Chains A and B, each alone.
Chain A
Amino acid sequence: MTSVTFSPDDRYNAFITTLSEAETGPGRLSDIPVAVKDNISTRGIPTTCASRILTGYIPPYDAHVVTLLKREGAAIVGKTNMDEFGMGTTTENSAFGPTLNPADPTRVPGGSSGGSAAAVAAGMVRMAIGTDTGGSIRCPAAFCGIVGLKPTYGRVSRYGLIAYANSLEQIGPMARNVEDVSLLMEVLTVHDTRDSTTIACPYRHTPDPTIRGLKIGVPEEFFGEGVDPRVASVVWEAITRLEAQGAEIVTCRMPSMAFALAAYYVTCTSEASSNLARFDGVRYGPQADTRRTWHESFQDRRREGFGTEVRRRIMLGTFALSSGYYGKYYAKAQAARQQVRNDFLRLFRTVDVIAGPTMPTVAFRLGEKTDPLSMYLSDILTVPANLAGVPAISVPCGTSEGLPVGLQVMGQWFRDEKVIDVAAACEQGVSV
């Protein structure tokens, strides 16, 4: 076993933990420094979810993806900053302070996998692992100008990922180019019986940028209200380049976009309210006062340990699931989710992939978004893929105001290979 030394100048606050000596071995990722988001369990390395409530926690086991990275010889050099438990769009909701965007350090890197994106964009690591519950890989990939893939739900094991919203989230690869994202995807898709929502569907693929005859659906809603016209125009230019490369562009509609964001926030907060009940100060993290009563002690620990956004989402989810409101919120959200899925099913009868902007705007200024609802609304273009479980990638396609813009490509279930190919075609069209 040899090791890789890692002593980065972390001027963007991309990392929560770094390892100055990281083990590496033989394999397809031999000697390659890889960063892992800090909500993914690493044996012997602190894992915080960027939360005070996990202060001091050292996982006694590796997540499945971490085992796979090690098996291929990757040097895991650090754990990256994030919005606490993945709850945010800017990486400002971190107990360890915000990460800055290497493309413009006065801006946010996007979130919640902002540390992973910044570490890659700044050249500190060649590749990183992120997680995407409602856009948390694609948003920071778009804002920082790198490539990030949310795989099809069920393709990558979530074993060892500290859960936020199980039915929506996936672990996925982030890198500076499509080729590295594809390589990392090969490594991550080894079946694992410990996550019962995964199926054996290994990804073995070399990106092929030939897209002649490919049908690309472009929903009007992805260029609708709230999308910055300058961002829309950069993305349209990229889509036009794909047309010049032989693809056929088909404009279409996704009416379920009207409900998608509300359905997403009801679902993710409901699941969070259940998942985060485990943080009670008994088994890990700051310890409960065992002389006080159960409820008093838990309430103290959770008030002090969770940040404001996490507490807000736990309370919203508790409310959405509470007696008398379940039918109005949770049940309706699941019906809306079915409509999102039906829209994808209908569109994929006539098109191969769906494309549009990843984010409605370029990266926000640090501190610009203070109101929770306006922050939530910026996820409108990324949440449909999570609600339906389809694969979605963000690939750099140009700049607006000098800041990176991402093209989002969504594909059919378990056809992650196709979105990789379209991203490779887009990459060819953008001079690097």
Chain B
Amino acid sequence: MIEEKDVEHIAMLADIGITKEELPEFTGQFNEILDYFDILDEVEETGAWEQELANIFREDEIVPSLPRDEVLANTREAEDGFFRAPRVM
């Protein structure tokens, strides 16, 4: 069983934003879904993933990247060729 405070904690970890009013419904649904996931307890570990494919390597060649102005075209908060982000502290 998980409780509303657990859901609040998960929402914080995920930076998802949640209101107090939303907690009861999410909590109920999570418990129902996690109950269903309990069937995984019956799964026996079968060892390592059987692997018959081989890695394919390539040379690490420099190719052009996207032009800076095109990359910045989707933000309103560009400054001196950089993205402007919220403050960390």
Q: How far is the CB of B82 from chain A (nearest CB, A)?
A: 11
Q: How far is the CB of A348 from chain B (nearest CB, A)?
A: 13
Q: A259-B43, A373-B29 are in contact. Are A193 and B11 (CB under 8 A)?
A: no
Q: Are B43 and A332 in contact (CB under 8 A)?
A: yes
Cα separation A193 to B59 with both chains bound (whole Å): 11
Residue-wise, chain B 1-41 has the 8 Å CB interface mask toward A (1 for contact) of 01000010011011111110000001001101110110111
Residues of B within 8 Å of A345, CB to CB, are 50
Residues of A within 8 Å of B66, CB to CB, are 60-61
CB closest residue in chain B, given A284? B74
Q: Are B86 and A290 in contact (CB under 8 A)?
A: yes
Q: Are A259 and B84 in contact (CB under 8 A)?
A: no
Residues of A within 8 Å of B40, CB to CB, are 259, 262-263, 266, 328-329, 332-333, 336
B88 interface hit (Cβ, 8 Å): yes
Question: Looking at chain A, what size class is its interface with the partner chain?
Answer: 35 or more
A402 interface hit (Cβ, 8 Å): no
B43: contacting residue among A273, A287, A299, A339, CB under 8 A = A339
A293: contacting residue among B45, B71, B88, CB under 8 A = B88
A224 interface hit (Cβ, 8 Å): no
Q: Are B45 and A299 in contact (CB under 8 A)?
A: no
Q: Are B85 and A290 in contact (CB under 8 A)?
A: yes
Q: Are A315 and B16 in contact (CB under 8 A)?
A: yes
Q: How far is the CB of A328 from chain B (nearest CB, A)?
A: 7
Q: A300-B17, A315-B26 are in contact. Are A373 and B86 (CB under 8 A)?
A: no
Q: Are B16 and A302 in contact (CB under 8 A)?
A: yes
Residues of A within 8 Å of B29, CB to CB, are 312, 371-373
A window 282-302: CB within 8 A of B: 282-285, 287-302
Q: A262-B36, A282-B85, A332-B41 are in contact. Are A314 and B16 (CB under 8 A)?
A: yes
Q: How far is the CB of A138 from chain B (nearest CB, A)?
A: 22
Q: How far is the CB of A284 from chain B (nearest CB, A)?
A: 4
Q: Are A60 and B73 in contact (CB under 8 A)?
A: yes
Instruction: Count residues of chain B with CB under 8 A from any CB of chain A.
Output: 48
Q: Are A319 and B16 in contact (CB under 8 A)?
A: no
Q: Are B58 and A293 in contact (CB under 8 A)?
A: no
Majority secondary structure of chain A interface residues (helix, strand, loop or mixed): helix
Q: Are B43 and A319 in contact (CB under 8 A)?
A: no
Q: Are A294 and B16 in contact (CB under 8 A)?
A: no
Residues of B within 8 Å of A373, CB to CB, are 29, 32-33, 36
Residues of B within 8 Å of A193, CB to CB, are 58
Q: How far is the CB of A202 from chain B (nearest CB, A)?
A: 16
Q: Are B7 and A262 in contact (CB under 8 A)?
A: no
Residues of A within 8 Å of B44, CB to CB, are 335
Cα separation A280 to B87 with both chains bound (whole Å): 13
Q: How far is the CB of A386 from chain B (nearest CB, A)?
A: 16
B window 64-89: CB within 8 A of A: 66-67, 70-71, 73-77, 83-89
A338: contacting residue among B33, B34, B50, CB under 8 A = B50
Residues of B within 8 Å of A339, CB to CB, are 43, 46
B62 interface hit (Cβ, 8 Å): no
Q: How far is the CB of B66 from chain A (nearest CB, A)?
A: 5
A-B contact pairs, 24 of them (CB 8 A): A58-B74, A60-B67, A60-B70, A258-B39, A262-B39, A265-B33, A283-B74, A290-B77, A290-B87, A293-B87, A295-B15, A297-B86, A299-B15, A303-B18, A304-B17, A315-B7, A315-B10, A316-B30, A319-B10, A328-B40, A332-B43, A334-B49, A335-B46, A338-B50
B residues at A contact (CB < 8 Å): 2, 7, 10-11, 13-19, 26, 29-30, 32-34, 36-37, 39-46, 49-50, 53, 56, 58, 66-67, 70-71, 73-77, 83-89
